[in-house]
């Protein structure tokens, strides 16, 4: 059974720092991986989706990488801003069309 973990559970950084969020999954047979952002009391906003054949995807200050063989993905946020404060979740999609979510990393960017 696929399990997804995210480290750290919470992170607090000063504004302007570059940071990395980690996502690990136990079964490397995934179809793709999706990163989401969740603001308090809100739904999830899709940030990036990486196909299993891709190594990385970029959108603005965000860059997500995928290493299927090691069961890891990282989300890199450059020049962090207070508006980046949110919970970031990753989810893997396996070949059975199952979405499995990680518990999330709660990010606070301090002005």
Partner 1 sequence: SQTIHQWPATLVQPVGSPLSLECTVEGTSNPNLYWYRQAAGRGLQLLFYSVGIGQISSEVPQNLSASRPQDRQFILSSKKLLLSDSGFYLCAWSQGPYQPQHFGDGTRLSIL
State the residues that interact with partner 1 by CB under 8 A. Answer: 4, 31-32, 34, 36, 41-46, 49, 89, 91, 93, 97-99, 101-104
Strands 72-77, 44-51: pairing kind:
unpaired
Q: Tell me how far, at minimum, the Cβ of 51 lies from partner 1, in Å.
A: 9
Q: Tell me how far, at minimum, the Cβ of 92 lies from partner 1, in Å.
A: 11
Cα 27 from Cα 75, distance rounded (Å)? 19
Q: Tell me how far, at minimum, the Cβ of 71 lies from partner 1, in Å.
A: 17
Cα 60 from Cα 76, distance rounded (Å)? 11
Q: Which is nearer to partner 1, 71 or 102 (CB)?
A: 102
Q: Which is nearer to partner 1, 80 or 89 (CB)?
A: 89
3-state helix, strand, coil in the chain (%, to 5): 5, 60, 35
């Amino acid at each position: 059974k696929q399990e997804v973990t995210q480290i750290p559970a919470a992170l607090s950084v000063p504004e302007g720092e570059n940071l990395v969020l980690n996502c690990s999954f136990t079964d490397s047979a995934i179809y793709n991986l999706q990163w989401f952002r969740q603001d308090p009391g809100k739904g999830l906003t899709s940030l990036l989706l990486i196909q299993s054949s891709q190594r990385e995807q970029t959108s603005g200050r965000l860059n997500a990488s995928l290493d299927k063989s090691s069961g890891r993905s990282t989300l890199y946020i450059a020049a962090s801003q207070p508006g980046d404060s949110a919970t970031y979740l990753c989810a893997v999609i396996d070949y059975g069309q199952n979405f499995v979510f990680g518990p999330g990393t709660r990010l606070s960017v301090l002005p």
